[in-house]
Amino acid sequence: MIDLRSDTVTVPTDGMWDVMHKAPVGDDVFGEDPGLRALEEKIANLFGMENGVFVPSGTMGNQLGLKVHTQPADEVIIDENAHIYHSEGAASGLISGIQLRPLQGVRGILSAEQVNSAVREQNDWDPHTRVVALENTSNKGGGTCYPMQTVKDIYDITKKRGLALHLDGARIWNAAIATDVDLKEYGALCDTISVCFSKGLGAPVGSMLLGSRQLIKKARRFRKILGGGMRQAGMLAAAASYAVDHHFEKLEEDHRKARKLAEAVASSPCFEMDPAQVETNIVLFRVVRGSVDEALHWFHSKGVAMIPFGDDTIRATFHFQISDSDLDTAMSAAESYRGT
Ligand X SMILES: Cc1ncc(COP(=O)(O)O)c(C=O)c1O
Does residue number 315 form part of the binding site for ligand X (CB under 6 A)? no
The answer to the question of residue 223 lying near ligand X (CB under 6 A) is: no
Residues 6+ apart with CB under 8 A from 106: 141
DSSP H or E stretch at residue 176: helix 172-179
Provide the b/e sequence for 40-63 (b: ≥16 CB within 10 Å): bebbbebbebebbbbbbbbbbbbb
Residue 192, strand partner residues: 166
Q: Tell me the per-residue interface mask from 182 to 221 with ligand X, x by CB under 6 A, - otherwise.
A: --------------x-x--------x--------------
What is the distance between the alpha carbons of residues 120 and 269, in angstroms, rounded to a whole number? 46
- 168 near ligand X, judged by CB under 6 A: yes
Span from 22-30, 53-61, 126-134, 266-274 in contact with ligand X (CB under 6 A): 53-61
- Helix/strand/coil for 153: helix
Query: Is 155 strand, coil or helix?
Result: helix
Q: Does 66 bind ligand X (CB under 6 A)?
A: no
58 touching ligand X, by CB under 6 A: yes
Segment 125-144, which members bind ligand X (CB under 6 A)? 135, 139
Rule CB under 6 A: is residue 167 a binding residue for ligand X? Answer: no
| Interface residue with ligand X, options 13, 45, 57, 150 (CB under 6 A) | 57
Distance in Å, CB of 265 to ligand X, minimum: 21
The minimum distance between CB 129 and ligand X, in angstroms, equals 22
- Alpha-carbon distance of 110 to 95, in angstroms, equals 25
Residues that bind ligand X (CB under 6 A): 57-59, 62, 83, 135, 139, 168, 170, 196, 198, 207
